[in-house]
Structure 1
């Protein structure tokens, strides 16, 4: 079993070692069973010329047809049941199981699966341009102390903090840097629903005083990526998992940003601010979306290796 990311995570240079990972094997189950064999006698009947003949062939053919239908029906039902188990089912119990499983991913899924070394962003850039992001730093898994600005910490307080995982990426030109975070909460579905509703109704995701903090690793392209360099960001409160996904982007050269703009606004047609024109809203939104998609896949296949 590979070592866990946490207090034992070693640095690459002066930054964290992205090779370390969380892992936990999953043992698949199996289904099996048998069916009884039924035999019939051979009664006599008459053909079209009123001659007596045995009916066994017709009975056997009808019996075989009925048996085939039974086998097919049982197979379809069994497949449907097995499929619902694999994805958690559509009933409340299955949804709760999936929700709980998502909350455990922080220690059961490898770091390279949660935060792939390379992320492809087909059509994620301005005008539908393609993007490729390379991971340059992974923060040790931690609690949320000093991880957020005071107001954002207060806004997230109702759902609690179980674990915070973060990684920082750069684009292919190393012009931009983006930190993406996965906050695993202690909340149930009701609390996550309430927080998501509050973010939507009160527009909390676009307030500059609720921007996430970046993770700046020394000796990387993100070494100068501090609070003053934040240019665009996005925060997504999931309702089908106890997770808050966020991303914050900025320039890699350390330039400060006087007027940051939320990705939701920076990616709109006609936006003219510097973060929007540079495509930093697309950097934050595009990377956050793809990390979130990977997380959802991990809920049903936690041992699947990233492509």
Structure 2
């Protein structure tokens, strides 16, 4: 049974005064049971009889009455503990307790006064047993160290997966941060991403390599071999354009414009040159001969330009160019190319006697011989033809020079030679000496 004295703060509890001596009850006064003004909480039952030895015990025995009397008047109260109570103060000698009145029970041990009177003894007994005062805040509880549970080690190891019992002594592997392994969809997406990046990188690398290969200039041997096939791999309009504009190539730096009026079918080289020129070109051989005829903007001059595809190799073409240059075979009037006089065109009357100027070019980077021959469109004859390189010189007063026929032959030969080189993929413009 809990008491108020065990939980009350002794610092705020006043000392209990001693009980005054009781007066004898006069005769005729009713007892506590018969006094209507007396509040009796409950009567303590009489002590049960002591059972005989060997008899079964019935009920609970009544504890003995305390023998410590309440403190007398003037006694010092117990010290007020701050955090832990100190040694108890010596108690004053207790005053003699008067005998209880007649007709009243021995004591009411369930009253507050009884517990307050015995609080000092209860406090002293609890201190002696070491269980009365609670431990101070922040202090360790007393007792044997073996009675305290051991602290868990820090930090704790990761727990294994559910349903998996690790082998004794085996290291515990850390769990996946997300608590589960990546699924097959995620792995498939990652694989597709890596594959796509690889394909894109490979395509980019291949494109870069192909661009580098395209940008690299072809070798001289590859260009020479390709030039041998341009006559049947390239459209005629690219080799012989319909209109050719010569900026500043006319007499006095004037502009010239030529329009194509006829294209001859590809053929052999027989009947295309004078006999001596044909003999000079025989060493190079003839694979094909291509020809076209142009007229100037005024329709007063006509020009035939031709390209002979040879069978010679590159050293043979260089040797032929050297022979024409050193022996001046391109300036001899008995070594002229023949014009292509297409019927029904302004060049219909263009024959041997109408030839006024000419030029022959031996190309060394591709197996091609380019020539051009010019004359008057009205069919007039020219007694002394003049090479184009001589007719374009400043101060020349000959008929081919003043009429611009030398400029027409040179300008068209330069343009057709450039078109054949472009078709063969030649990276540079080779300038040969005029033959």
Q: TM-score higher than 0.5 here?
A: yes
How many residues in Structure 1 have an aligned counterpart in Structure 2? 223
Higher relative contact order (CA 8 A, sep 6+): 1
Q: Which residue of 2 aligns with 1:32?
A: none
Note the C-alpha offset of 1:80: 4.3
| TM-score of the aligned structures, taking structure 1 as reference length | 0.70
Q: Which residue of 2 aligns with 1:201?
A: 326
Larger Rg: 2
Note the C-alpha offset of 1:74: 11
Long gaps (5+) in structure 2: 1-204, 427-435
Rounded to whole Å, the distance in 2 between the matches of 1:131 and 1:138 is 20
CA-to-aligned-CA distance 1:233-267 (integer Å, 9 cap, x gap)? 00000000000000000000000000000001011
Which residue among 93, 113, 135 is the counterpart of 2:260?
A: 135
Q: Which runs of structure 1 show a deviation greater than 3 angstroms over 4 or more consecutive aligned residues?
A: 73-82
Q: Which residue of 1 aligns with 2:376?
A: 251
Note the C-alpha offset of 1:204: 1.0
Note the C-alpha offset of 1:269: 1.1
Equivalences for residues 1-307 of structure 1 within 5 A? 79-84=211-216, 87-88=217-218, 94-300=219-425
Long gaps (5+) in structure 1: 1-72, 89-93, 302-307
Rounded to whole Å, the distance in 1 between the matches of 2:422 and 2:313 is 20
CA-to-aligned-CA distance 1:136-188 (integer Å, 9 cap, x gap)? 00001000111111000001001000000000000001000000000000110
Provide closer, same or farther for how the CA distance between residues 125 and 74 of structure 1 changes in structure 2, counting only shifts above 3 A. same
| TM-score of the aligned structures, taking structure 2 as reference length | 0.49
CA-to-aligned-CA distance 1:248-299 (integer Å, 9 cap, x gap)? 0000000000000000101111111111111110000011111111111111
Note the C-alpha offset of 1:221: 0.3
Rounded to whole Å, the distance in 1 between the matches of 2:370 and 2:242 is 18
CA-to-aligned-CA distance 1:218-241 (integer Å, 9 cap, x gap)? 110000000110000000000000
Quick check: which one's strand share is greater? 1
Note the C-alpha offset of 1:300: 2.3
Note the C-alpha offset of 1:81: 3.8
